[in-house]
Structure 1
Amino acid sequence: MAEASKPDTSSIDDIQKALEKQIADLRKEVAKINKSISERGAELVADAEDQASGTYDSAAARATRTAQQLRTQAHAVSEAARENPGTTTALVGMIGLLGFLAGMAVGQAMNDTPRRWY
């Protein structure tokens, strides 16, 4: 009987060694996959950073151009107002009157009880 148990033990040892080798191989493959995923993730992050940087630079350039145009137009308006003070006063007065009338109309429309002007 002792001879019968030896072949069983050696085959079990062989199976165990084969399984351990397969597990070690699987661990190596998982490590390779993890490394590949990590590298790809780093590439994606770098691409996203480049794209965000480009977008920011483009937006900053547009904002600078827009601010310059607004300054130029504001300067032109202020020059026109300085050259024509009477017209400017009349225009501001008309805008104020129109705003007052619009406010009155909105106030009357929001009021629940109708009022008449006598």
Structure 2
Amino acid sequence: MADNDSTTGSAANGTGTSTTSSEPRRSAASRKTGASRNAASRGNTRSSKASEDAMKKQVAELKREVNRLNRALAEQAEDAAETAQGWYRSAADRASTLYSGASDRASRAASQLRNQAHSVSETVQQNPGTFSTAMLIGGLVGLLAGMAISRNSDPEPDWLRRWHR
């Protein structure tokens, strides 16, 4: 009880500590802590905003870089396509030139063969005896050539020996 009296006596003098006078001290301390927190949060907000801005700048820079790379790739693809088209046109021109040259030569050869065949057929129609004599001589020459090639150093053929055993 003595404590109560001193508290009330002190409270009457205004020098004592009461519960009402300690609360303002706490709130002042909490205000200081809150103020430092607010300053820190403002600083954090500022730093987070600055880092956010830096990130946005980096993202924008990366987007510009990607767009630049895409344009460069598109240009290279266009150049490659033009080169391939040039090669194709060149090959097609060469093939066309070769085909037309071969076609011309083939048509000339066919025309010449037609002319020669017509000449031979006219000759045969005009001279049937000469043609049959030429065919007969050609057949005889072919027969003699075949006999000369088939002639062997062995006088008796193999099939003849089989029967003489």
Q: Which bracket does the TM-score occupy, shorter chain normalised?
A: 0.7 to 0.9
**CA 1:17–1:85 in 2, change beyond 3 Å: closer, same or farther?**
same
Q: Confirm whether residue 115 of structure 1 aligns to residue 157 of structure 2.
A: yes
Q: TM-score, normalised by structure 1?
A: 0.72
Q: Confirm whether residue 44 of structure 1 aligns to residue 84 of structure 2.
A: no
Show the counterpart of 1:57: 100
Once the two structures are TM-superposed, the CA of residue 28 in structure 1 deviates from its matched residue by 0.9
In the alignment, the residues of structure 2 paired with residue 106 and residue 22 of structure 1 have an alpha-carbon distance, to the nearest angstrom, of 85
Q: Residues 44-81 of structure 1, C-alpha deviation per residue, up to 9 Å, x if partnerless?
A: 22232222222222222111111111111112222222
Q: 1:1-118 residue pairs with structure 2 within 5 A?
A: 2=44, 3-100=46-143, 115=157
Aligned AA (2:52): T
Once the two structures are TM-superposed, the CA of residue 101 in structure 1 deviates from its matched residue by 5.0
In the alignment, the residues of structure 1 paired with residue 145 and residue 56 of structure 2 have an alpha-carbon distance, to the nearest angstrom, of 96
In the alignment, the residues of structure 2 paired with residue 66 and residue 97 of structure 1 have an alpha-carbon distance, to the nearest angstrom, of 32
Q: Residues 13-69 of structure 1, C-alpha deviation per residue, up to 9 Å, x if partnerless?
A: 222211111001100111111122222222322232222222222222111111111
In the alignment, the residues of structure 1 paired with residue 52 and residue 148 of structure 2 have an alpha-carbon distance, to the nearest angstrom, of 101
Aligned AA (1:87): T
**CA 1:11–1:102 in 2, change beyond 3 Å: closer, same or farther?**
farther
Percent identical residues: 33
Q: TM-score, normalised by structure 2?
A: 0.55
- Aligned residue pairs total 113
**CA 1:84–1:9 in 2, change beyond 3 Å: closer, same or farther?**
same
CA RMSD of aligned residues (A): 2.8
Q: Structure 1 unaligned runs (5+)?
A: none
Structure showing greater Rg: 2
In the alignment, the residues of structure 1 paired with residue 52 and residue 142 of structure 2 have an alpha-carbon distance, to the nearest angstrom, of 101
Aligned AA (2:129): G
Q: Whose RCO is larger (CA < 8 A, sep 6+)?
A: 1
